[in-house]
Amino acid sequence: MKNKFLYKNIFMYASLQFCGNIEKYFVKHTEKLLVYIVMPRLKNKFNLIRIYHRGKMQQEIKARSSENIFLYYLLWFYYHWYILLNFFSFNEKFYVLVGHPVSLFGLTFQRLVRRNAKFMYWIGDYFPQGGIAIQLFEKVKKHYHGRVDFVSYLSDGINKVFNNGKVVSANNKKTVMWGVEPKNVQRNFPKDAFTILFIGLIKDSQGLEFMFDFLKKHKDYKLNIIGICDDKLYESYIKTIRRLGISSQVYFPNQFFSDEDLKEISKKCHIGVALYNVDKSNPTYYTDPGKVKAYAEMLLPVIMSDTSGIASFVKKFRSGIVIDQSPSDLAKAFREIKNNYQEYILGLNKFNKYFYYEEYYRKAFKFLER
């Protein structure tokens, strides 16, 4: 009988936030899988280590974390080595799939200790501007980019940056964007308002102020903000919401929600928004923002800024509307989707078929097969 598992042994990183169904995919197709789930530093005291064997989780271990930036990375790296040394025998060959250079520190020594390990670096972001710390971070990424066995890039934009302006597509270097798994969401639309969903880690470059101004002028719209931000930014947004008199239109709990909770919240939403600073200095320009794929999974048409490589796919499949981010463009886009809602649902189905994670990752990760 042919073994159904495509991959033998893998140690990989993941997140409880949307991360393209990457953990789900490798759970289904890997005989022995270690998943290190590292969460954002804000409001989190534990990360998780999940141990899977032949598609079933055998154990989940809490790994300490900290909001202190120094302890956060120190504990991250400690548990990286804990997994590296304790869960694979020294005769086992395995792949290590990382998404951050901190996991590659001491790569030469890691290879010396674990001679049968091969490393893949999945680069998910690029920061074109910043202070000394950001510049150093990018130099470290490029350093390890040239020293690992395999590299995947979350977008063609990042691929170009790391390959002198050219998009490389080879067995050991290629673009791999987020995959999607459409969810069966039965919408339960409220009758009193057209409801907008915003999800993700909240920063001050994601157009929420723009949305608040829109709500002030359009009382028949509501906004659910599902994600977390630091206390200072949260207080600033709450003051703005109160000043504009839109408190009854905005739901903003500033807390983490599980996938199931998010699915329930999305049932009462009509559309998702992904507004960004469109300047090329914004890291979003270069990456594949997870919220766009998350909206697509929940069958929510998206209104997004004209940035990031995913915008061309949104246009191609008509799964939403890409705008230049002016008040008139936003109002026009909402009206267009409201008046042609089923057409955009059909576009979402095409978008989701193209990025369906099972087929998309099967082709992308051919090099990992046993």
- Give the pLDDT score at 100: 95
DSSP-assigned letters across all residues of 48-109: EEEEEETTEEEEEEEEE--SSHHHHHHHHHHHHHHHHHHSS-TT--EEEEESSGGGGTTHHH
CATH of 194-354, one of 3.40.50.12780, 3.40.50.2000, 3.40.50.10190, 3.20.20.70: 3.40.50.2000
For residues 211 and 323, give the distance between their C-alpha atoms in angstroms, rounded to a whole number.
13
Who has greater pLDDT, 289 or 19?
289
Q: What is the pLDDT of residues 158-167, one digit of tens each?
A: 999 999 999 9
- Give the pLDDT score at 229: 86
Average pLDDT, the chain: 92
- Architecture of the domain spanning 7-179+357-368: 3-Layer(aba) Sandwich (3.40)
- Give the pLDDT score at 3: 57
- Give the pLDDT score at 10: 98
**What average pLDDT score do residues 294-316 get?**
94
The sign of the torsion formed by the CA atoms of 67, 73, 74, 79 equals positive
Which sequence spans correspond to the domains of the chain? 7-179+357-368, 194-354
Residue 328: pLDDT band (50, 70, 90) is: confident
> Above 50 in pLDDT, residue 147?
yes
Given this chain, do its domains 7-179+357-368 and 194-354 carry the same CATH topology? yes
Who has greater pLDDT, 189 or 244?
244
> Above 50 in pLDDT, residue 338?
yes
- Give the pLDDT score at 53: 97
pTM of the complete model: 0.88
